[in-house]
Amino acid sequence: MATATLPAPVQSTSAKKRSFYRPELDVLRFFAFLAVFLFHFNHPAEYYTQHGIPRAVAIAGSSIIEGGVFGVDLFFVLSAYLITELMLREKDVCGSLDVKGFYLRRILRIWPLYFFYIGLALIPAFNPGHVFTWRAAAAYVLLAGNWSVILWGWPIHSIIGPLWTVSIEEQFYLAWAPIVRNLTRKNLAVAALSMLVISNVIRISMVLVHGGMNSVWCNTLARLDPIAAGVLVAAVLRGGIPSFRAATRCCMLVIGIVSFAMVANFWKIHEPESLKWVPTMVGYPVVAIGATLIMLAVLGVQLRMPRSLLYLGKISYGLYVYHALGNLLSGMLIPVHTAFIQLALRPIAALAITIVMAAISYAVLETPFLKLKKRFAHIDSRPV
């Protein structure tokens, strides 16, 4: 595997800042969102065969769409890689990591939409029967929404659902910055391997104590595999970008997608009836490896990215956050759930509504904070 080398650090950070932006990963972000989005509209293969879809196509399609639930793991790998790489480049350029500046950038990027959406989720029209309770809301406000799911279960019929993964990422950001400041690239690889050990120990513990169905899926400490994988990629590449042949990239992409589908359909670790040894101890690492292969298959690809996909990747955070609301609103517009044509229209309507909401949110709510965020940046990344 050939990698590009990182240029020698500049002496003055004020004269010329480094930049690191991989547009192909923005496109991959959109497809990670799309995978999660389609998962919520999936049906068993039998449903599709009843409506004239060939059985082989129905089985393959339903299996792949079910694997889309692991788009969240792909988000974790992407975020861990990009965040770690940006922080390491800042250390190379500046000689140290500005942890306070990092926290300010994350706050300006994540919090405006995050807290705005919590407010939306508390509106009675979007919270029938007050299923999203005040104690759950307090947990989300404290960036611990995933732990509230473990303690009290999913707030069914609430639009708050997507934010549990944002809570996990925020917890990672909070702990990771001081670690990166004090470790070299080599030692970061050791830290990532330690994270894998911790994750496995926690999963073993949850199986032994017969933890609930969400005790692993929503547990930050048990879901460190994809995060550790992203860190390892940043540490191993040492600032370079991999150069793979097209056939190799296609193989990695297919293996990643197939691993998602196999784990989702045969082991169902995202909705287990009970925690079992093999699915719990093997399924999560397999998904993390699959997500890493998908990212590496795309990273450094020499293709011109369509502007539309680049834009959708740029607003992918909003797409992910708003998609539960888009689903709810599409159900109000298209209330029929039985006719196949009507049911096919719902995902289309939900996606269109989600894109519109995310675009407005990005332009009106997020962009002012993103422009402010750039004032605290030592390394230029994605343009606003």
Residues 267-320 have pLDDT tens digits of 999 999 999 999 999 999 999 999 999 999 999 998 889 999 999 999 999 999
pLDDT digits (tens, 9 = 90+) for 135-161: 999 999 999 999 999 999 999 889 999
φ/ψ of residue 379, rounded to 5: -125, 125
| Average pLDDT of the chain, as a whole number | 92
Confidence of residue 352 (pLDDT cuts 50, 70, 90): very high
Residue entry with tokens 């790489």: 85
Structure token pair of residue 79? 């975020």
Question: pTM for the full model?
Answer: 0.93
CA–CA separation, 12 and 69 (whole Å): 45
State the average pLDDT over residues 364-373: 96
Phi, psi of 159 (to 5 degrees): -85, 0
DSSP letter string, 87-119: HHHHHHHHSS--HHHHHHHHHHHHHHHHHHHHH
Question: Does the pLDDT value for residue 336 go beyond 80?
Answer: no
Radius of gyration, CA atoms only, the chain: 21
Q: Is 18 exposed, middle or buried (0-12, 13-18, 19+ CB in 10 A)?
A: buried
Distance CA 106, CA 86 (A): 12
Q: Is the pLDDT assigned to residue 11 strictly greater than 70?
A: no
Residue 299's pLDDT is: 97
**pLDDT at 12 exceeding the cut of 60:** no
pLDDT at 51: 85
Q: What's residue 303's pLDDT? A: 87
pLDDT at 7 over 50: no
For residue 384, name the pLDDT band (cuts at 50, 70, 90). confident
Give the three-class secondary structure for 19: strand
Q: Which residues contact 183 (CB under 8 A, 6 or more apart)?
A: 191
Contact 350/330 with Cβ under 8 angstroms?
A: yes
Place of tokens 């750039």: 374
Confidence of residue 18 (pLDDT cuts 50, 70, 90): confident
Structural domain boundaries of the chain? 2-380
